[in-house]
Structure 1
């Protein structure tokens, strides 16, 4: 089985403590399914377009939805971020933030506080 992307054993060991316990029937291979979730999200695919090597697309989708509702991914992200220490820089990707067309003129009108140290334009 040639899988396009697969989490390493070390990566799985770091995130396994955040997985919910299995109730009754054992789960399908977590490593393969989580790798499939990452692959689909990373490449912007629809669930049904996930490569067959990750397993049934319905299983990948169901696991993503179930674990999202349980907050599993939030716990993983928070746990990994906490182990990283305090960041030196914070960056914001504003490609998804929308501003009203008049927002650019608020600074000129004095309605928005200028907190930058940049020299003022004449």
Structure 2
């Protein structure tokens, strides 16, 4: 399943120019995004991407580069803002125990006052180890 023309029309303006700083022109961004989506949807190893997606190294490198330079974050933020403006999002906030902090006593916080010194107790009359 590849991007529809409507999906591509929303994403394309958010992507960088296809002419990188060095070297020649990149291959089509749409083909690379389709390759990335296929890889993550199917769990296919990078090296086993079908040939019609082109070089797996190109798709993998562009995915990493766009993650590092913030391209994916900008695309996601812009698409999210567009969908929210159109009323296409239904915001649901869920809180569970993985993000709720316990009260300090439940978390075994130290009580006020000095912390007792930790000593290894030795029975009286027994020789000290050493």
Question: TM range, normalised to the smaller chain?
Answer: 0.5 to 0.7
- 2:92 aligned with 1:89: yes
Q: Which residue is 1:116 aligned to?
A: none
Structure showing the higher helix proportion among its residues: 1
Matches within 5 A, 1:65-104: 65-85=64-84, 87-90=90-93
In 2, Cα distance between equivalents of 1:39 and 1:90: 29
Structure whose alpha-carbon radius of gyration is higher: 2
Moved over 3 A (4+): none
C-alpha deviation, 1:77, in angstroms: 0.9
Give the paired residue count: 98
Structure 1's unaligned 5+ residue stretches are: 99-105, 113-122
TM-score by length of 1: 0.65
CA RMSD of aligned residues (A): 3.0
- 2:44 aligned with 1:45: yes
Helix, strand or coil for the counterpart of 2:57? Answer: helix
Q: Which residue is 2:119 aligned to?
A: none
Cα deviation digits, residues 25-47 of structure 1 (max 9, x gap): 22212111110011111222221
Q: Which residue is 2:9 aligned to?
A: 13
Q: Which residue is 1:54 aligned to?
A: 53
In 1, Cα distance between equivalents of 2:25 and 2:93: 40
